[in-house]
Chains A and B, each alone.
Chain A
Amino acid sequence: MIQLVWLIPLLPLIGSVINGLFGKRMGKTAVGLVACVAMVASFLISLSIFIKILSLPVAERSVEVTVFNWITSGAFKLDVTFLIDPLSTIMILIVTGVGSLIHIYSIGYMHHDKSFWRFFCYLNLFVFFMLMLVLGANYLVMFLGWEGVGLCSYLLIGFWYEKKSASDAGKKAFVVNRVGDFGFILGLFLLFWSLAGHGITSLSYKEVFANIHHLDPSMLTIITLLLFVGATGKSAQIPLYVWLPDAMEGPTPVSALIHAATMVTAGVYMIARNNLLFSLAPYTGEVVAVVGILTAFFAATMGLVQNDIKKVLAYSTVSQLGYMFTAVGVGAYTAGVFHLMTHAFFKGLMFLGSGSVIHAMGGEQDMRKMGGLHGHMKTTSWTFIIGAIAIAGMPPFSGFWSKDEILWETFEKGHHYIWALGLLTAFLTAFYMFRQVFMTFTGRCRADHHTQHHLHESPKIMTVPLIILAVLAATGGIIGIPFFEEGTAAHHFLNSVFSSGQHVVNHAVAGGGHVANAAGESEAIHGGLELIMMGVSVAVGLFGIFLAALLYYEPMKKFAPSFWTPENLAARFKGLHTLLYNKYYVDEIYDALIINPIKRLCWYCWRFDLGVIDGIVNGAGWVTRLVAWLMHKFDVYIVDGTINSSATFVSWTSSFWRRLQSGYLQNYALVFVIGLLLIIGGALLGW
């Protein structure tokens, strides 16, 4: 079964090719069917591989499947090889599973779009690249996927390219990602270069990890920092997160699949995959954790005041990604991947739910014009609320287990400030999520009459995926519940992947004398503390929901103190509100600090270009053209022409004016003979 892994990315690729080539003529049903069948089949294969992996003993759970050998030249070998291990299995399950649901949902959502086939072509192509990214057993395949998902993301954000904001957002995403990718590729080059110094030319994870100890820590720190720069670009972390909120210009299923569930988690996956490298570079780990928690916090504050239903979700995505980075930064890789999974469920769900809302509202995205939708669309509303509870971290929904695990691990590993900020973020998350729920689904409908009249629940093809995702969001935390002695099911499953990195960390901790307080204490106190922590985070979450309810839930409003209304608060903290509403002016700051100077620099460069570079380029071009011209003239003049001119000479002397026009053929023959002379002459002189 595992040998069939190549089918998993191949099927979406085939789907994409079919839709791309024939989609225009095939009709919408057929297009959707092709795309979804490819995805579901891919998911089923992934599932069977997962089952197979579970049945194997722990030591044998990492399997490399070489699909084909791309180029072999001497010692240098490039294979397209897939790596099946617990980490990649979880990732393919998420990608194909959530991907299938979103594909099915898209059939309904995109039904009126004229470029239906193009959408599914891109979407399938995206899934293909994403699967390459997570399945690749060497850095090259991963990089191929990494670049490919970036391309598809760009294509899909700008899907409605007639809209200027959409194509601008696409461009922004592309440019920002390019900055990150630059760091990433630099890191990869540095890694290969420094490993090549030790005689290792392979690009496969296995070889690299086996030989990583040759590198000295400072080099590793630089490499991992550069890789992390790539991750901040792809996964929208400070300072490169600015593209993600804008990316909401794309169709909502795209936001759900790419900008919530899968692609943006690529950075987390990459760090988890390279856990050994990051564990060996503790400084980078600190940086990752701090950047992660700061992103989580600031994104959450920005989410507090957004009015666009998708923007709120976008900031919450950035914020949740921050949690994941915090987790992998402190070395809690399992917790990070676990949160990645639960996040894929509940954030995918919420995006699709918001899509359903937008669908019903006829394209309206402003929450101030919504309200009271619960009555009109029961399924969407209930599933959305489940998602909100999950993200707010209420037990027993999935978000609780994963978020709590991250917070607990940060606390346990001694990062108390990070933990505190994380807790605060959890509070904010609960607040703004329920603000959204209350504003959208409860109260009086603020939409205009026309829209109200057309409010309707979405078709089955959209609601069924919602329900499935809601079930997953509610129950997906099971594998994070500590049933086992040695940890949760997730730990148990993923342990083999992260053990080497974990080992390094523990070793360093023990050796460095930096004894974590949790390590020495007894299990009982340990367990007790964990329970207390759980209680604290639940309480904080509940408090956030409560405050949100006081502000935005009609029946609760009367219990609120007089100053506790949105308007009053906005007026009282006017400065703060404006700051948050304008997202800390980060875009403006970037504009002022980076983009405008670059533009100005470009302008200068352009001027410079005109003067100097163009001169050089033109000069070089001119030289090339001159040489081309000369060579061309070689044909015309030296070949025919010299002969012509010598013929002219002869003609002049012998006054055969009429015969100036020498036929070409004789000249050709003459050149032939001269060439022959040169060969033989060269041979005589001894080549």
Chain B
Amino acid sequence: MTNLLNINYYAVAPELVLIGFAFLVLILDLLLKGRDKAVLGYVTAFGLLVSIPVSYFTNEPVSFSGMVAADSFSAFFNIVFCVAAFLTTLISMDYMKKAKADRGEYYYITLFAVIGMMLMASANDFVNLYAGLELMALSFYVLVAFKINDNKSVEGALKYFVLGALSSGILLYGISFLYGYAGSTNFAEIARAASAGSSQNMFLILGVCLTVAGFAFKVALFPFHLWSPDAYEGAPTPVTALLSVGSKAAAFAVFLRFFAGSLAVLQPHWAMLIWVFSAATMLYGSVVGVSQKNIVRMLAYSSIAHAGIILIGLLVTNDKGSSGVLYYLLVYAFMNIGAFSVITLFVRNNGKGANICDYKGLASKRPWLAFFMALFMVSLAGIPPTGGFTAKFFILASAVNSRYYLLAGIAVVSTVISLFFYAKVIFYMYMKEADDASVFTASPGAALYNVVIVISAVATVLIGIFPSVFMDMAVQAVKPLLM
């Protein structure tokens, strides 16, 4: 029996580390009083930092009776999650004070969310995957509603929660059909059944359709994206940053492992589905982003557009496409969190700082911040020499290599359209004079923001200038998938 169980604690070491820290923070939250609670954020950040090397060195064979595949692929994603959560934790310490929602639960719920993402990335079985997904989703429901006195926050969370529950139901329904088809919930078993049996089996098709819908919700693909602008806008801004990076990356990890990995044989059958998703999502995200006035909503639509482009890499089921997805997600984590950090620094409880026009004249008041914000915008828009450019380049190159010319063309068009709203931010910062400079006064905890912004900016540029280093990592990471 023990042989069958195949318990391997090393395979879940990053998760175990984070669980340990989560409980540590939980207990500290109970013990500490008043101002001492400030230490919670640092403990959380430290835990996430510790988890990065642990993730890096975790590379174990499939364990827990085929449930957990802690390979280089999940390691890459785990690092992305930890880095993203680390950065957002740093900026949330001051933000939460500002938002009058400074409570210890925030930190360990963040940790639990990260654990959920990690479980998703290393899941090799739908049961395990679902457990991880729910862990992440539940944590995010709470985090989005964390400004409990703010109606928008609660409203966004409620929408996210109800629709999330719906998508979970759909996902489970799909999983049950896949189980009916393959007789197992294990990815490897389903892959075996898919390559052996008929690809026209209706159970398989229905199962795939429903599970795709379930994940498309998490990635916020059109038309399953409707929750995201509301939830992004309502949530505490650091949570939005983590949500847009982490939850998206986790869902992409599953997408990749299941589609590019297990169902790669059936690529011609699901290619069209993903193709349409990708084209519709990137066009929709970039076009609707144009008319946004709220900067967080704008970034929400931008993140929808990015998801569409990343999906191209999924469609190209070879090492170029898959590693492109990983690379893109890594870059996206940094540039998006960087942009959100600048916003977090300025956003006020009364809604000041949330509109694009509030950034008027930032360049003359706070030139460095404006410069970094412009850098993130440039990177999001995909202009060299930033990481955003190389990421788009790799994805599009892989698409062209695999003869998805039209899709690559649509991606370019959407990029051009999205340039409009990124440029708008830069335009407001540099070309206009501030009417009300009081927005730009820094809060006392500004040093932490600066750390996060500088880390993100350096990483964004560094990844853009030395792409091959990170690309090699991504290529290494996707190797276990494509065997």
Name A residues whose Cβ lies closer than 8 Å to a Cβ of B: 68-74, 624-625, 627-629, 631-632, 634-635, 639, 664-665, 667-669, 671-672, 674-676, 678-680, 682-684, 687
Contacts and interface: CB of A to CB of B under 8 A. Distances in A.
B290 A687 contact: no
A133 B446 CA distance: 40
Contact of A631 (B224, B269, B288, B390): B288
B431 interface: no
The 7 closest A-B pairs by CB, nearest first: A687-B272, A675-B223, A628-B290, A668-B226, A628-B291, A69-B468, A73-B397
A672 B226 contact: yes
Nearest to A21: B368
B230 A682 contact: no
A184 to B, nearest CB: 19
A300 B445 CA distance: 63
B212 A70 contact: no
Contacts of A629: 291
Given A635-B226, A639-B226, A676 B162 contact: no
B447 interface: no
Most chain A Cβ neighbours within 10 Å, of B166, B291, B393, B466: B291
A665 B162 contact: yes
Interface stretch (B80-88, B131-139, B203-211, B434-442): B203-211
B67 interface: no
15 contacts: A70-B466, A72-B468, A72-B471, A624-B417, A628-B290, A635-B226, A665-B163, A668-B163, A669-B163, A671-B226, A672-B223, A672-B226, A676-B209, A679-B212, A687-B271
Given A73-B394, A676-B213, A668 B468 contact: no
Nearest to A665: B159
Contacts of B393: 71, 73
Nearest to A682: B273
Contacts of A667: 226
Contacts of B397: 73-74
Given A665-B163, A669-B163, A68 B288 contact: no
Contacts of A71: 390, 393, 467-468
Interface in B384-405: 390, 393-394, 397, 401
Contacts of B213: 672, 675-676, 679
A467 to B, nearest CB: 41
A676 B210 contact: yes
A676 B170 contact: yes
Contacts of B159: 664-665, 668
Nearest to B223: A675
Nearest to A630: B287
A629 B288 CA distance: 7
A634 B280 CA distance: 13
Given A70-B466, A672-B213, A680-B209, 12 more contacts: A70-B467, A73-B393, A74-B397, A624-B420, A628-B291, A631-B291, A635-B288, A669-B166, A672-B217, A675-B224, A679-B273, A683-B206
B230 to A, nearest CB: 7
Interface of B: 158-159, 162-163, 166-167, 170, 205-206, 208-210, 212-213, 216-217, 223-224, 226-227, 230, 269-273, 276, 284, 287-288, 290-291, 390, 393-394, 397, 401, 417, 420, 465-469, 471
Contact of B272 (A68, A73, A672, A682): A682
A73 B475 CA distance: 13
A678 B224 CA distance: 12
A contact patch SS? helix
A672 B163 contact: yes
Given A665-B163, A672-B163, A74 B401 contact: yes
Nearest to B268: A687
B206 A680 contact: yes
Contacts of A676: 170, 209-210, 213
A625 B290 CA distance: 8
A70 B468 contact: yes
Nearest to B277: A679
Nearest to A144: B385
Nearest to A76: B397
Contacts of A669: 162-163, 166
Nearest to B216: A675
Contacts of A678: 223
A624 B212 CA distance: 31
A629 B230 CA distance: 18
B212 to A, nearest CB: 7
B439 to A, nearest CB: 24
A635 B285 CA distance: 12
A631 B288 CA distance: 6
Contact of B276 (A72, A624, A674, A682): A682
Nearest to A670: B226
A678 B397 CA distance: 30
Contact of A679 (B158, B209, B290, B467): B209
Contacts of A665: 158-159, 162-163
Nearest to A666: B162
Contacts of B205: 683-684
Contact of A687 (B162, B273, B420): B273
Nearest to A69: B468
B287 A671 contact: no
A69 B230 CA distance: 42
A634 B230 CA distance: 15
A77 B137 CA distance: 42
A636 B269 CA distance: 34
A312 B210 CA distance: 80
Contacts of A679: 209, 212-213, 273
A674 B226 CA distance: 13
A666 B475 CA distance: 42
Contacts of A73: 393-394, 397
A672 B223 CA distance: 7
Contacts of A72: 468, 471
Nearest to B161: A665
Most chain A Cβ neighbours within 10 Å, of B205, B287, B420: B287
A70 B272 CA distance: 33
Contacts of A634: 288
B270 A668 contact: no
Contacts of B212: 679
A669 B217 CA distance: 11
Contact of A68 (B166, B206, B287, B466): B466
A674 B288 contact: no
A668 B284 contact: no
Contacts of B469: 68
Contacts of A627: 287
A639 B159 CA distance: 15
Contacts of A675: 213, 216, 223-224
A144 to B, nearest CB: 10
B256 to A, nearest CB: 19
A678 B288 CA distance: 21
Nearest to A632: B291
Given A73-B397, A628-B287, A671 B420 contact: no
A68 B226 contact: no
Given A73-B393, A687-B272, A671 B223 contact: yes
A683 B290 contact: no
B144 to A, nearest CB: 14
Nearest to A629: B291
A632 B287 CA distance: 8
Nearest to B165: A669
Contacts of A668: 159, 163, 226-227
B420 to A, nearest CB: 7
A159 B469 CA distance: 38
A622 to B, nearest CB: 12
Contacts of B166: 669, 672
A216 B468 CA distance: 37
A434 B130 CA distance: 88
A12 B67 CA distance: 53
A684 B205 CA distance: 8
A222 to B, nearest CB: 29
Contacts of B420: 624
